[in-house]
Chain A
C-alpha cells in the first residue's frame, strides 16, 4: 500500500524559511522520481518541483526557482523553502512520479503552509 505523508507545514513570517517532509512507504522509494505540487486557497494546482529517482536531477517551477530546494534520502522527500512570500501560502502535496516528465500516480494528503506577518 503506497503511502505518502507530508509534515512540516505551519505559519511562518515572510522572508523566513521552512522545511517540508514527505515520508514514503509501501514501495521502493529509490525507484521513483518525486514531485511537489501546491494549491493556494481556492486556487488550482501548481507544479513546484521534481527530483529524479537517484537525486541527480532537479527541476523547479519559475515561481520558486532559486528559493526552494527539493531533496531526498532513503525514504523521505524534502522541500526546503527559503525567502518565503505571502504568495507561497498553499497546501503542499508530495506525489510519486512514474517518470520525471510523466504522470503522478500517488499523492499525499498535503500540509498547509501559511506565510503571514
Chain B
C-alpha cells in the first residue's frame, strides 16, 4: 500500500500540458523534499525532478515540479510521444522511517 496518492492516469494531445498530483502527509511530503521518477515501458526508473523542483542535467525544462504543504505536482509541457511512461513521486517518511513512493501515474499521449 502506497503512502503517496497519485491519479492512475492522465492524457493529452501532443504539444499540450499535463499535471500529475502527489498527495501525502506531514510526515513525508510536508517534511521532506519530493522527487519524481519516469519509468519508460520495460525500463528502470529514472530521476526526473529532485528537491521538489530541480532538474538533473539532461532533463528538458518541459518538466517541472512544485510542492505546497503536503502535496506536490509534476508538470509536463509540450507533450511528446516519447513522454508516454509511468511517473512516480517519492519522499522519505519520518513516521515509518522508510522511503515511500506514490501509486504511479500513466501518461498517455493521444
Contact = CB atoms under 8 A, between A and B. Distances in A.
A35 B99 CA distance: 9
Q: Which of B37, B44, B101 has the most CB of A within 10 A?
A: B44
Contacts, number: 68
Contacts of B50: 98, 102-103, 105
B101 A102 contact: no
A107 B101 contact: no
Contact of B45 (A60, A61, A100, A107): A107
A93 B100 CA distance: 15
Interface in B84-109: 86, 88, 90, 92, 96-104
B2 interface: yes
A27 interface: no
B23 to A, nearest CB: 15
B32 A104 contact: no
Contacts of B40: none
Chain A interface residue number, banded: 20 to 34
Contact of A107 (B32, B46, B92, B103): B46
Interface of B: 2, 32-33, 35, 37, 39, 44-47, 50-51, 56, 86, 88, 90, 92, 96-104
Nearest to B56: A105
A101 B91 CA distance: 7
A47 B100 CA distance: 6
A110 B101 CA distance: 17
Nearest to B91: A101
A34 interface: no
B88 A44 contact: yes
Contact of B47 (A37, A45, A62, A105): A105
A104 B103 CA distance: 17
Contacts of B32: 101
Nearest to B54: A103
A59 B98 contact: yes
A104 B104 contact: no
A9 B95 CA distance: 31
A108 B44 contact: yes
